[in-house]
Amino acid sequence: MVREKENFIKQSTHTSFYTGGQFAISNDGQYLLCTYNALIHILDIQTQHIIRSIGQDDTSSEVVSFALFNDLIVIAYRNQLLRQFNWTTGTCLRTWKSVHKNTIICMTFNSNGSLLATGGADFTVKIWDVEHLYYTHNLKGSTSIIRVVLFYTSEMKKIHVICGSDDGRIYLHNLHVSGANPTILQGHMSTVTSLVLHNDHTLISSGRDRVVIIWDLQTQSSIRTIPVMESIEALIALSSVDYLKKLKIKQTFASDELLFFTFGNSGLIKLWSGTTGRCLLIQEDKTYEKIAANSYGKDKEHEQVFLNAYFNETTRMFYTNTIDHNIIAFNIKKLKLEKQFIGELGDVLDVRFLNDNDNNPLYIIVANNDEKVKIFHLNTWHCQMLKGHTDIVIGLDISYDHSLIATCSKDDIIRIWSYNVDRSSFVCVAIAEGHTGDVAAIAFAKTSNDFIVSGSQDTTAKVWSLENLILDSNEPQNLSSVFTLKTHDKEVNSIAVSFNDKQFATGSADKTAKIWDIRNQKLLAVLSGHRRGIWCVQYSPVNPELATASADGLIKIWSTKDYNCLQTIEGHDASVLRIIYLSMGTQLISSGSDGLLKLWDLKTSTCVKSIDAHEGKIWGMSASTDENLLVTCASDSSVVIWRDSTEEDRQAKRENVEEVLLMEQEVSNLLVNKKYHEALKIALNLNQPYRTLTIIKEILNEIDGIDRLKNTLLQFSDDHLNLLFSYVIDWNTNTRHSTEAQIIIKVLLSIMTPDKILKLPNGQKCVENLLPYTERHMSRIERLSQQVLFLDFSWHSMKYLDQSNISSSNELPTTT
């Protein structure tokens, strides 16, 4: 028996968390700190979940730089403010002005965290005493923007600040000599990008002039200039050569050997010897970010460029960021990619689950506004990239056995991908070229891997044969089109293949859907009825039906036998972008441009559940094979995993019913035993106003009932008192219960101050609703009082008249 679904709850979310710029790794290697507009996000490296955000999401104060020291972080904003936080708790410790006349570009702490140096676009460096909260030095001398700053303690225990600027010069400031001009080290012909100390007197500098220079700080002269043949953005010199034992380097090194790694625009990590000036090792793992050599290999736009780099001694990992806002972790053992963080997703256009060998969802395939397809691991969100397309990937699909991935792009090309065990990565095994417009829709056959169907903005649909596909070939195979059909008058937005592989349906912006016979290559039906373009078509897995979703906000179900419209579902206030059949075709779930998910019962055409899922248009949606998981993606740069919570909700309802029955029985037993005070609290928990009123009446009928009620209410929580206030509002509107309501109000006012009453969730509303009826009851009581006085007056008057009559009768003369 099919168990229909009633609800989906959010299981996990992956969203944009990094907008470029600086990042840092905690000392223990567990947390990643990175900039996101005006915030600093703190991520758990294992799960990539954002555990905390530091700062306020204010576009007027964008983060430009930050410095980290143990638990402290100092953040520089574009509005020239500095803020100091404890990043482990998110507490702001101090805010002050930067004193710089322009934006701060770089900043760093000294070795013990007592001093902070900030380098700015005003060509100066400021030194701050972090402990005593003031700045100690204003270092001038540079003629260009300061790009990197570094503390250095000489052998004479003198503290120096070294900074590199855009003019290619390195400035050495002695903090113990006031007003002295800095020592200038000249050698670079372009921007100095990185400064690294090797020992007490050796400095390594890199620049965009494609050289690395070794400096002796004692003689303040260069020792060696090493041409590295690429623009270097970051340098790392390891504290010990023991870290290099796992690398395949034949020669041995002395303990004080000058070795350093470079990170630049080649996208490869390189190990250099500062003694010989030779490159000792170049990273071998080129598959992680390089385009296949057989296509578009000369396209510089798609090459990787490293920016900043850090080495964490705890995890023994290199961390570097790229120009496309990704953060990558490499293991020093083999310089192999271990983890990749996708910092910014942009608009996410399509998404699918990819199963493991046990048919359980393991990966999420994402097509976002990028030419690279992202494959996320479901548990760790580690990302692999499929590179080959030269323009934005619009759509994708997974084969029936989850062995193949098909992607289509604005480059008019379709690519087929398969997992290569030897390379431990996905590789392109086939390319389909033939469309003359953006390929917007792709669909595999449902029962085999014999063919795929594609739809394009050139208004055609093509069927491509996969029968002779070779998976272990070194070169991608060129697919041939079996046939091409002129399908619509406008672009094709969606394609679906029937579950018997005999038909396929197309949905177009021309407001129609069409059904086509694959064997005979002919049109079977034109489905007209939508008032705007069709975004999605889907076949039912069981019934001979086809569902269409349109920009007119309607979902229509069509018969694939007589091609009539069986039902029209209304409910979305905006365009319906995606639909999926669930529960063996008895249910349908839809996503809209309003950010809503709606679950429909097709028997009654009613909405079972409406979920506010995203803040933007939900472009993509897919269900796992067992339908326990649902994944959605949207224009709000987020991918959300949803879990079917139907059984959990039903179990919770059953447990709640059992709990209510037990509590009702307990209340009944307490009432029989006349334990009204204990029964009152349980009645409030059960949310039973009438039983609560009955119990209160019984309490008031007791001797000293008001005092006993007061003692009982003193033991209640604010939630119970707030609920009782809401009951009193209803009771106060009825003259039959107004007496008890007024007594309760009097008791509550005696145990609670007016301020406390107003602070209750419904306090303000209760007071406003109580006043009119209370005034009405007061007027009624005043009228009754007047009537009582009038009756008393009438009674006394009648009594006086009766006595007068008796006296008069006694005084009448008698006649004889």
pLDDT in tens, 711-722: 888 888 888 888
Q: Give me the mean pLDDT over the 90-119 stretch.
A: 92
Whether 59 shows a pLDDT value over 80: the answer reads: no
Q: State CA 712 to chain mean position distance.
A: 47
Confidence at 303, pLDDT banded by 50, 70, 90: low
Q: Give residue 287's pLDDT.
A: 44
Q: Give residue 809's pLDDT.
A: 61
Distance CA 366, CA 633 (A): 8
Instruction: Give 346 or 1, the one with higher predicted confidence.
Output: 346
Q: Give residue 669's pLDDT.
A: 87
Q: CA nearest 439: which of 464, 418, 458, 452?
A: 458
Count the neighbouring beta carbons within 10 Å of the beta carbon of residue 777: 17
- Cβ–Cβ < 8 Å for 3, 582: no
CA end-to-end distance (rounded Å), the chain: 114
Which residues, in sequence order, are CB contacts of 324 under 8 Å at separation 6+? 344, 370
Distance CA 591, CA 399 (A): 23
Whether 441 shows a pLDDT value over 90: the answer reads: yes
Distance CA 536, CA 590 (A): 10
Dihedral sign computed on CA atoms, order 556, 560, 561, 562: positive
Q: Give residue 802's pLDDT.
A: 65
| Alpha-carbon distances, residue 167 vs 147, 181, 241, 290, 769 (angstroms) | 10, 17, 34, 33, 72
Instruction: Give 122 or 789, the one with higher predicted confidence.
Output: 122
Q: Give me the mean pLDDT over the 231-242 stretch.
A: 86
Count the neighbouring beta carbons within 10 Å of the beta carbon of residue 502: 11
Q: Give residue 811's pLDDT.
A: 59
For the ranges 96-110, 218-232, 750-764, the lowest mean pLDDT is seen at 750-764
Number of H helices, E strands in the chain: 8, 57
DSSP secondary structure string for all residues of 140-177: ---SS-EEEEEEEE-TT--EEEEEEETTSEEEEEETTS
Whether 689 shows a pLDDT value over 50: the answer reads: yes
Instruction: Give 218 or 568, the one with higher predicted confidence.
Output: 568
Q: Give residue 297's pLDDT.
A: 38
Share of the chain above pLDDT 90, in %: 58
- Cβ–Cβ < 8 Å for 582, 5: yes
The domain spans of the chain are 674-784
Whether 788 shows a pLDDT value over 90: the answer reads: no
Q: What is the reported pTM? A: 0.82
> What is the three-state SS of 389-428?
CCCCEEEEEECCCCCEEEEEECCCEEEEEEEECCCCEEEE
Confidence at 740, pLDDT banded by 50, 70, 90: confident
Instruction: Give 28 or 179, the one with higher predicted confidence.
Output: 28
For the ranges 164-168, 211-215, 240-244, 714-718, the lowest mean pLDDT is seen at 240-244
Highest-pLDDT range among 22-31, 669-678, 739-748, 803-812: 22-31
Q: Give me the mean pLDDT over the 685-691 stretch.
A: 85
Q: Which two tokens stand for residue 10?
A: 């959010």
Helix (H, G, I), strand (E, B) or coil at 645: coil
Q: Which two tokens stand for residue 738?
A: 């107004």
Q: Give residue 533's pLDDT.
A: 95
Q: Which two tokens stand for residue 526?
A: 């034109």
Residue with tokens 């008890």: 740
Amino acid at site 583 = S
Q: CA nearest 33: which of 404, 327, 432?
A: 327
pLDDT digits (tens, 9 = 90+) for 400-437: 999 999 999 999 999 999 987 776 788 999 999 999 99
Q: CA nearest 437: which of 409, 416, 465, 405?
A: 409
Burial 190-203 (b: 16+ CB within 10 A, else e): ebbbbbbbbeeebb
Confidence at 813, pLDDT banded by 50, 70, 90: low
- Cβ–Cβ < 8 Å for 166, 152: no
Opening angle at CA 635, ends 633 and 640, nearest 5:
25
Q: Give residue 812's pLDDT.
A: 52
Q: CA nearest 626: which of 570, 584, 673?
A: 584
Highest-pLDDT range among 21-25, 655-659, 800-804: 21-25
Distance CA 796, CA 172 (A): 111
Distance CA 649, CA 811 (A): 93
Beta-bridge partner residues of 374: 366, 385
Q: Give residue 806's pLDDT.
A: 63
Beta-bridge partner residues of 25: 32
Helix (H, G, I), strand (E, B) or coil at 710: helix
Q: CA nearest 549: which of 512, 586, 578, 571?
A: 578
pLDDT digits (tens, 9 = 90+) for 353-400: 999 888 889 999 999 988 999 999 998 899 999 999 999 999 999 999
Share of the chain above pLDDT 70, in %: 94
